[in-house]
Structure formats: structure tokens, C-alpha cells
Amino acid sequence: MAGEDKKQQPFDSKAASSLVAELRGAFASGTTRSYQWRESQLRGLLRMTDEHEQDIVAALRSDLGKPELESVLYEAAMLRNSCKFALKELQRWMMPEKVKTSLTTFPSSAEIVSEPLGVVLIISAWNYPYLLSLDPVVGAIAAGNAVVLKPSEIAPATSALLAKLLGEYMDSSSIRVVEGAVPETTALLEQKWDKIFYTGNGRVGRIVMAAAAKHLTPVVLELGGKSPVVVDSGINLQIACRRIIVGKWGNNNGQACIASDYIITTKDLAPKLVRLPYPHVLVFSLYGVVSCTLPYLFQVDVLKNELETFYGKNPLESKDLSRIVNSDHFTRLTKLLDEDKVSKKVVYGGERDPTKLQIAPTILLDVPRDSLIMNEEIFGPLLPILTVDKLEESFDIINSGAKPLAAYIFTNDKKLKEHFVNNVSAGGLVVNDTTVHLAVHALPFGGVGESGIGAYHGKFSFDAFSHKKAVVYRSFMGDAAIRYPPYTNGKLRL
Ligand code: NAD
């Protein structure tokens, strides 16, 4: 818990129960319902982020080796934008929404009143530990709830910073942080909440949902999946490759829920992205020299060349790539890479340094579909390319697996775009870019099927933490006798 004296106490079921009781009392007092409270808490989050940006950068560097620019842009600035957008829209969101009534209730008026759910639990993940902890909090306080946040223990520096800062900047009678791992989360999950918002993997998502079911608590599950990128010919390949790279390695070195998991392209186009490497001896021959210039003349190896432009010839030394979060994830990723039928498919990268927990951006060509890497979310710097004869086959490949959190296509073909939008089911789609849908406040962000339940961002965050109460107003006029017994045949014929 935020607060030095309580930090030493074990956070067990009893502690969780008294925390929830305390917050229920605070919620019942009505404080969190007022516009003033919601506004002041959002301003507090904003101020906290402004005044501690360098502490946030330092915590993210400690947890993930995250480059400063990524921390500032994708964690601090995005959180700020969320707060500012909520502050701008809050009055409008809180206003009852007038709706039409029907002849049955004539004369009457009706409206949808958004009411806070009560006391909510937010459990977040380690990869964007600042943003993913606080972005749902923005929605929860905008909607007028009391909140318990449980950050991820896998990003301990950010978790500690959140506990400290929220204690200083937020109303601690209604907003609390509980630090900890499985035992603490289990103790929290045993309690009755009014909503549980969980970000993380599907295995734990199932644990969360089972715990919530005991109390009929609604959940939002922000999960992951294998997000594909389809690459067509006849496009600006350099821009496409840059956008694929930044959405993959430029997002926490691939440790992002909407990072591209694999590429699907045609057999003809694949060498333009990356070719099979030449034997080393050729590097010193005339042919080797020619092969270095050919890519620029005939557009081959574009993905590889752009990667080298961004991260240099020795990406293990690059300061612009996050490291792998911990040795468990490092081992998990090297296992995917070292599977026999996969390791020989590496066409670029593959280097790793266990002492730095770093793996170079790695591209694999034509990995078998039954390999481990094609059957679990990669969540790291490895990018397999699958090739097909006709691009239309890519839709069957995508639709044959679990529904991903995101899917991307690069094409100028209008029919292909339409086909993609109408036939690929994913949490969100982007045409001719990757990951940017995340930044559009007006779009819901969430998964479908295995990639999640529910959505947030912008007004969707407010709605995720509100009950939409249906209210009908009537007067004493228009009291139709047909409603009342006795139910005569005459009434039936009316
Ligand atoms: P994680 O290990 O940090 O776990 C997430 C949370 O679950 C943590 O707070 C952790 O304490 C808790 N937890 C772990 N085991 C638990 C258990 N047995 N019982 C109760 N709680 C438990 O994060 P992760 O799951 O490794 O995160 C990566 C996954 O999250 C990927 O699948 C990724 O795609 C997904 N993700 C999704 C989004 C999204 O917005 N949809 C964002 C980020 C990550």
C-alpha cells in the first residue's frame, strides 16, 4: 500500500477486505460523484505526470531499458492526452443523454443517466507500466468511482513510483495502489468489486474472470494475441517498412500488445522485404559489393536496410531499443528462436546477449506453421514472415487462428482494403500503418474473442466504468385503461 508504515504488512485477504470496506465507505459518502472531485483528480494525474516526467523515464529505464523518447511519447504524453481529453469532455459525458420515447409510454420523456459503478479494481501489465496502469484510472475517476490499482510486479520501479506518487497527488480516501504479485492479486480478487479491469495475458484473464463470476462482477479484459501485417505489392515499400519497424521494435522492442506479430506477403514480394543472406565470403568479392548497392536500385532487403538505418549494424549496442523485461521472458523468446525447425529460418538478426537481456531485431522467413513461434504471441523482437502465392490466402491464415488484438494491411488496392475490413476480425484494424489506432480518442480500444472483452479510451473509458441507467419520466396524464385488468376481449381488439 502507498504509505511507508503499511508497506511492511502482508497484504492478505483480510487486508484486502478492509481496504474494500474503507473505499466503499468513501464511495457511499458521495464525494467521488461530484464533477469537482473528478476534475480535481484528473488534474492531479496531469500535474503528477508533468512534475515527475524524469522520474517516470528513470523508472521505465530501470524496468525495461526503455529509451527516453518512447517513455516520454508513449507513456507520459499519452497519459497526459488522455487526462486532457477527459477534462475537456467530462461535463458532456456526465450529462444525461436524452432519448426518444415510444407511443406506448406517451406522454413521457426518457434519458440515459451515467452513474458510477462503485469501487473498481484495475490490474495492469508490465510493458507500458505507467500508461497501462493510469489510463484505465482516468476512465474510472472520470466516471466517479473509487479505485484500487494493482500495478505489475514485473515492472517494480514503476510500481513503486506509482504507489508513491498516487499517495501524494490523488485523494487517498478513494484512490489506492496495492503493490504485489500473485498472492496480493489473489487476495484482491477474492473481494467483491463493482468492476475489474485487467490488462495482461489470457491465462490470467481466465483467473480474473472466474474470480469475478463468483460475485457477478463485470470485467474488462485487455488481452493480446498474434497481430498480423499483410503486405501487398505496388506500395511505397520504404514507408511501409518504416511503419512496420516503428510499430514493432520502436514499441518497447516488440513487447507491445499491438506490435506486429508476423508478416504475410507473397513469395514474389518477400525478397523485397528481406532476402536470404549471402555466404560471408561473397561480402569481400565484387559480387558482394554489387549486392550492397543493388538493394537501393531494385528495392530488395528494404526491411533489413531500414532496420540497419534505425538501429545500426550492431543493434545489441543500440540505445534506441528497450531490453527484454526479465530473464524469464528472455528464455521464453530464445526458446521460440532456437526451435530446430525455426532457427534455420533466420534471415536477419538472431544475435542475443543474456547479460544485457537483449535480443537483436530478428526476421525469419517461411517458418513452419506448426512451430512454437507461430502458435503463441511472440511479444518480443522476433518477426516471422509467412509467404503465400496469392495475398487473398492471408485472410484464411488470419481467420484460422484466434482473433487478434490488431491487424494491419499495406496496400493501394481498394478491393483488398474492403475485403480486409469486412472479413478480418480483430480488436482494431489499420490500413497502411501499424499501431496508430491507439492514438485516436474517438475509437474504442479493446479485443475480440481471445484478445479481450470490452474496450476503453476516450468516452469508451468513461462508459466502461459507468452504469447506463435507463430513466423514464411520466406525468399523470395519458393513463391508458388498456393496461389494466380486467383484460376484456374489447381491449384485445383495440
Ligand atoms: P503481467 O505478468 O504483468 O501480468 C498482468 C497482471 O496480472 C499483473 O498485475 C500480475 O500481477 C497479475 N497476475 C499475474 N499472474 C496472476 C495470477 N496467477 N493471479 C492473479 N493475477 C496475476 O503481464 P503479462 O500478462 O505478461 O502481460 C503481457 C500480456 O498482456 C500479453 O499477452 C499482451 O498482449 C497483453 N497486453 C495487453 C494489452 C492491451 O491493452 N490489450 C496491453 C499490454 C499487454
Instruction: Calculate the alpha carbon distances from 118 to 41, 343, 351, 466, 492 in Å.
Output: 16, 51, 50, 9, 45
Pairing of strands 97-99, 382-388: unpaired
Taking the chain (494 residues) in runs of 10, the rounded mean pLDDT of each run is: 56 97 98 98 98 98 98 98 98 98 93 98 98 98 98 98 98 98 98 98 98 98 98 96 98 97 97 74 45 54 95 97 98 97 96 98 97 98 97 94 98 97 97 97 97 98 98 93 91 81
- What is the Å distance from ligand 1's center to 389 Cα? 37
* Integer Cα distance of 477 and 89 in angstroms: 37
Are the beta carbons of 208 and 38 closer than 8 angstroms? no
Pairing of strands 108-116, 466-474: antiparallel
Q: Which residues contact 300 (CB under 8 A, 6 or more apart)?
A: 271, 272, 275, 294
* Integer Cα distance of 178 and 191 in angstroms: 14
- What is the Å distance from ligand 1's center to 79 Cα? 19
CA angle 166, 251, 417 (to 5 degrees): 120
Residue 63 pLDDT: 98
Residues with CB under 6 A from ligand 1: 123-127, 132, 150, 152-154, 181-182, 185-186, 199-201, 204, 207, 222-224, 257, 377, 379, 405, 447, 452
Residue 7 pLDDT: 53
307-324 as b/e: b if 16+ CB within 10 A: beebbeeebbebeebbbb
* Residue among 199, 203, 376, 450 whose CB has most ligand 1 atoms within 8 A, to mutate: 199
Are the beta carbons of 61 and 318 closer than 8 angstroms? no
* Integer Cα distance of 218 and 464 in angstroms: 10
Residue 9 pLDDT: 74
- Among positive and negative, which fits the CA dihedral 139, 141, 147, 148? positive
* Residue among 137, 206, 223 whose CB has most ligand 1 atoms within 8 A, to mutate: 223
Are the beta carbons of 441 and 449 closer than 8 angstroms? no
* Integer Cα distance of 190 and 13 in angstroms: 7
